[in-house]
Amino acid sequence: MAYQLDFLAAMKAIFVPVDPLFHFIIFIIFAVVISGPLYLVYQLKKRVSLQTWLLFIGMAVIPVAGLLGVSLLHTGSGWQLENGRLQIKTAVWAKETIELEKARVALVESTGPWQAEWRTGGLGLPGLAAGRFVFQNGETALYFRHLGSPRRVVLAVDNRYYVLVHPGVEELYEELIARGAQPAEL
C-alpha cells in the first residue's frame, strides 16, 4: 500500500487548490519577467542584439524551470507501507522509516491542535506541504500534506511525530492499526 506523487500530481499541487495571494504573486513575477523586456525593446525602438534576446529568453525560462524543478523534486514524495514498516518521503527534506509495532497512531481532525503553524524546513504550496513543521500544540513533526482532508493521521515513535494528510487518509489509519500500530490519543 502506498501514496506517492507522480510528476503531474506534484505539478498540479502548485496550482490546486486555488490560493489567490499565491497565484497573484506568481502572476506578478511572470508579468514583470515578460513585460520588462518588451518595454525595453519598445523604448529602444531599434534592433535588439542577440545577447539581449538571449537574456530576455533566459529571464522567461527561469520561473518556468523553477516550477518544473519543484515538481520534479517532489515526484515520489509520500509514503509506502510494507513489511511492518511505514516509509515517509518528503522529497529532499527527509526520508524516514517507522517500525509500526513501536508506533502510536491517531486519526485527528485537521482543524485541531495538529494544524501546521509554520515550517522549519521544507516546502509549502497551496496543494502540497512537505518537511518539518511546528504545529499549534507546539510539537514539531515531519509533515506530508497533499491536497487536503478533513482528517489527518498522526504517528508518534520515541517522542518523534509524523503527520500525514491526503484524500483517503482514513484508509491508511485503518491499515496502520491492522499492521500493528497502537491506537492512541495524540
- Report the pLDDT value the prediction gives residue 161, as an integer from 0 to 100: 97
pLDDT digits (tens, 9 = 90+) for 3-39: 999 999 998 888 888 778 877 887 887 787 777 777 7
The residue type at 31: A
For residues 129-147, one letter each, b for 16 or more C-beta atoms within 10 angstroms of the residue's C-beta and e for the rest, the string is: bbbebebeeebebbbbbbe
- Angstrom CA distances, 160 to 13, 77, 163, stand at 27, 20, 10
**Of 156, 127, 157, 160, the residue nearest 144 (C-alpha):** 127
Q: Which long-range contacts (CB under 8 A, 24 or more apart) does 47-52 make?
A: none
State yes or no: cis peptide before 20, omega within 30 of 0: no
Specify the pTM.
0.81
| Residue 107 near residue 151, CB atoms below 8 Å | yes
96 phi and psi angles, rounded to 5 deg: -130, 150
DSSP 181: P
Confidence grade of residue 89 (pLDDT, cut at 50, 70, 90)? very high
| Residue 184 near residue 107, CB atoms below 8 Å | no
- Report the pLDDT value the prediction gives residue 57, as an integer from 0 to 100: 78
